Amino acid sequence: GIAGTVWLDFTTGGGGEKGAIDATEKGLPGVQVEALRGTEVAGSASTDASGRFAITGLASGDYRLRLAASNFREAFGGFSWLGPTLVTPAIIVAYIWIWAGFAMVVIGAGLAAIPREVLEASRVEGANEWQVFRRVTVPLLAPVIGVVLVTLVINVLKIFDLVLVIAPGSAQRTANVIALQMWKTSFGVRDFGLGSALAMFLFLLVIPAMAFNIRRFRTEG
């Protein structure tokens, strides 16, 4: 048979001899030890209160000892706090948080550029605030709103980093987008042909928004 001791080879405060059981070092009870002959487990035993074990009933030959996998806990994989039902709303909230400032600044600048005389004239003519907003303010803000909408549409189509960072691996497929899939295909599985095709598809989706913006700029110019 094979006998031995499983202990914690560590001395508080330092010192001690490596690979030897010192007086202050303690054995580990309840540890499962396996004797391997080749790749097969030929026998096993658990350590007692002092860390000692004895594996009996072994045939003569060479054996290798190892600690059984049952002694160890499964590795910590982190908290998957965003499941399939929450990952998309979380990305939407983060996207709005990032781009709300841009939209407010641009629209605020457009509001500041509206002549006050036009608004006052509308009120003098008897229009209420809702009518002033719907029939005067919004039409005058249409070019600014168009810039904001086109910019946001292009950025939504190209969104990549938020999905990669926010969505955990288990829920990333639920929130997958074209740009992320292009990156995974090209640099994950290294299928550059399919990755290039996805890039061209994304480019074709962006072209209409860009063409609309360019056409509007030329019309206004």
Torsion angle of alpha carbons 12, 17, 19, 25, nearest 10°?
A: -30
Ramachandran class of 15: left when φ > 0, alpha when ψ lies in -120 to 50, beta otherwise: left
Domain boundaries, the chain: 2-71, 87-220
Q: How many degrees, rounded to 5, is the angle at CA 201 between CA 98 and CA 206? A: 45
Helix axes 192-220, 138-158, angle to 10 degrees: 170
Quote the CA–CA distance of 200 and 194 in Å, as a whole number.
10
> What confidence score (pLDDT) does residue 103 get?
93
Whether residue 108 is predicted with pLDDT greater than 70 in this model: the reply is: yes
The alpha carbons of the chain give a radius of gyration, in whole angstroms, of 34
Q: Give 25-65 pLDDT, tens digit per residue.
A: 888 999 999 999 888 899 999 999 999 999 998 888 889 99
Instruction: Specify the higher pLDDT residue, 186 or 214.
Output: 186
Which tokens sit at 202? 């994304």
Quote the CA–CA distance of 181 and 204 in Å, as a whole number.
16
Instruction: Specify the higher pLDDT residue, 151 or 221.
Output: 151
Using DSSP, state whether 127 is helix, strand or coil: coil
> What confidence score (pLDDT) does residue 167 get?
77
Whether residue 200 is predicted with pLDDT greater than 90 in this model: the reply is: yes
Place of tokens 């841009």: 102
With a CB cutoff of 8 Å and minimum separation 6, the contacts of 65 are 2, 4, 33, 34, 35, 36
Whether residue 221 is predicted with pLDDT greater than 80 in this model: the reply is: no
H or E stretch at 43: strand 40-46
If one looks up domain 87-220 in CATH, what number appears? 1.10.3720.10
Whether residue 12 is predicted with pLDDT greater than 70 in this model: the reply is: yes
Quote the CA–CA distance of 46 and 32 in Å, as a whole number.
4
Using DSSP, state whether 57 is helix, strand or coil: coil
> What confidence score (pLDDT) does residue 102 get?
93
> What confidence score (pLDDT) does residue 25 get?
85
Instruction: Specify the higher pLDDT residue, 137 or 213.
Output: 137
Using DSSP, state whether 94 is helix, strand or coil: helix
Q: Give 64-86 pLDDT, tens digit per residue.
A: 999 998 888 876 655 566 777 78
> What confidence score (pLDDT) does residue 101 get?
93
> What confidence score (pLDDT) does residue 53 get?
92
> What confidence score (pLDDT) does residue 99 get?
92
